[in-house]
């Protein structure tokens, strides 16, 4: 099956509104020769400005997280209703920084996925293992648990547009990168778990991204792997010419 490539940039806690708009202007240089879906995830404060700056580009705009209630006394939280109202169509859930720094458990993420789907947001669901877990041979066990518990109770139809992102925690912002072979092996394992959960047709169709120190000089080798359908980029997504090169990978 031919899956459409998906190239995503997670801007994390970077860029003012002005800087975000300027970055979008720089990304317009991409030729998108691979006909990929291109997604950017700015800070909440920049979502609406980025949506407006992206008109005519085809870029998809995502929130980096959302809460699981529509509204209420939840100081500092952003609801899926607000995300959608700002113009975003996608939301990243389960990023390793949300899991490790802010206590997002599988149970919390399950509620966030439900809230996002309720309001028609496309979920980019992140999974990944720590260095200790990989070195003790628990990579597949950990990732299976994150998928089974985080996506519990949903149907293949509900999740048909979902994108999965595999991000080995030990390779995020460290300069270490899983080898293309390691990425392929884990993506294949993720697809097998999704086949168990939702059927082979679903697993064959779902796009699985690799995230973890993706750079302009390693994206070609990563994207060459059969089960790697795209990348979730951190630092180099903040540099227009670098991210343009990643979008236009060979």
Query: CA of 62: how far to CAs of 12, 80, 141, 198, in Å?
Result: 11, 11, 29, 25
CA atoms within 13 A on the CB side of 181: 0
Cβ partners under 8 Å of residue 140, min gap 6: 186, 189
Is the distance from CB of 31 to CB of 248 less than 8 angstroms?
yes
Q: What angle do CA 148, 102, 79 make, to 5 degrees?
A: 80
Query: Annotated catalytic sites, by residue?
Result: 95, 167
Pair of tokens at residue 198: 């939702």
Q: What angle do CA 26, 30, 33 make, to 5 degrees?
A: 175
How many residues in the chain?
A: 250
Distance CA 83, CA 45 (A): 11
């Amino acid at each position: 099956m031919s899956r459409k490539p998906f190239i995503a940039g997670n801007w994390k806690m970077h860029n003012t509104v002005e800087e975000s708009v300027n970055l979008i202007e720089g990304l317009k240089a991409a030729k998108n020769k691979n006909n990929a879906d291109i997604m950017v995830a700015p800070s909440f404060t920049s979502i609406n400005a980025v949506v407006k700056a992206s008109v005519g580009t085809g870029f998809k705009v995502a929130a980096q997280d959302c809460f699981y209630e529509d509204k209420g006394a939840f100081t500092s939280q952003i609801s899926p209703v607000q995300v959608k109202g700002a113009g975003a169509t996608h939301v990243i859930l389960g990023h390793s920084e949300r899991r490790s720094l802010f206590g997002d458990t599988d149970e919390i993420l399950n509620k966030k996925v439900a809230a996002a789907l309720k309001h028609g947001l496309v979920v980019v669901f992140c999974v990944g293992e720590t260095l200790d877990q990989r070195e003790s041979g628990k990579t597949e066990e950990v990732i299976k648990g994150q998928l089974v518990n985080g996506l519990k109770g949903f149907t293949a139809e509900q999740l048909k547009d979902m994108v999965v992102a595999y991000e080995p925690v030990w390779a995020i912002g460290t300069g270490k990168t899983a080898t293309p072979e390691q990425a392929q092996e884990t993506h294949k394992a993720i697809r097998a778990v999704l086949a168990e959960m939702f059927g082979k047709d679903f697993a064959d169709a779902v796009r699985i991204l690799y995230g973890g120190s993706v750079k302009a000089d390693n994206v070609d080798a990563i994207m060459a792997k059969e089960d790697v359908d795209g990348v979730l980029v951190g630092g180099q997504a903040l540099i227009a010419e670098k991210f343009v090169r990643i979008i236009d990978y060979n």
